[in-house]
Amino acid sequence: MTRPQYTIREAGQTDVPALAKLFEMEAKLHLDLLPVYEMHADFDWREDVNQKLGKQDQVIFVAEKDSLIAGYIYLRVHSRQTEVSRKGIRTRFWRRKRHATNPFTSYATGVIENCFVLDVYRRQGIAKALFENALTWFRQKSVQRIALGVLANNQAAVRFWEHCGFHPYRLLMHREL
């Protein structure tokens, strides 16, 4: 078995220009698949990536091949407090009892916000390696479940995530007016 010719590592500040281009490419792909939005011409992709780096509960991993960033995966941990104070209700009852406003038990959920690999590097195991790296990171963060969103008409992505063990649990629908 040959060793992969790419490296998976955490993104840093020197990766911002390349990552900004990849984030923009992914956004354009999504627009092609579901043209219900328009992109702002003046959106600052570098600033967007900068804001994602260096935070405790989120990370971007990159796959580097041939001295280029071939793909990335952007992850975060989402946690909700089980007991949330009720907005607008400030009676002694609620302060004393501290009732939860959500009937469901809360847990840390790992979220795969984005995963993108350049066309020329697809089907080489890069997305799978990025995902496996994500699993390790999520386990280190004591995450119990992982969620992601994928466009329904992006069949290649749907198949990939199903192959990784994901299954639909919620259907988000839209309608034009």
> What pTM was computed for the model?
0.80
Separation of alpha carbons 48 and 59, rounded Å: 13
**Per-residue pLDDT of the chain in tens (177 residues, 90 and over written 9):** 556 688 999 999 999 999 999 988 888 887 778 777 777 788 888 888 888 998 889 999 999 988 899 999 999 998 754 233 334 433 444 444 455 566 666 678 899 999 999 999 999 999 999 999 999 999 999 998 999 998 888 899 999 999 999 999 888 887 888
Strand, coil or helix: 18: helix
Separation of alpha carbons 75 and 141, rounded Å: 11
Domains and CATH numbers, the chain: 7-76+110-163 (3.40.630.30)
What amino acid is encoded at 176 in this protein? E
